[in-house]
């Protein structure tokens, strides 16, 4: 996995992971969001 180069994308990425980790969001939905962020940052 590559880390997004822009700080704003990285912050959003970390925020998304934190939100997924601390809420009752379905795991599948969480993974879709993570994949989307990863795809955007590549």
Closest CA to 17 of 33, 3, 28: 33
State the pLDDT at residue 32.
79
The predicted-structure confidence for 2-41, as pLDDT tens digits, reads as follows 555 566 777 777 777 777 666 655 567 777 777 887 777 6
State the pLDDT at residue 22.
60
Distance CA 16, CA 1 (A): 16
Residue pair 41/9 in contact (Cβ under 8 Å)? The answer is yes
């Amino acid at each position: 996995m590559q880390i997004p180069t822009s700080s704003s994308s990285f912050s959003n990425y970390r925020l998304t992971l934190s939100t997924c980790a601390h809420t009752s969001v379905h795991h599948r939905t969480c993974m879709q969001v993570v994949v989307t962020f990863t795809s955007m940052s590549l």
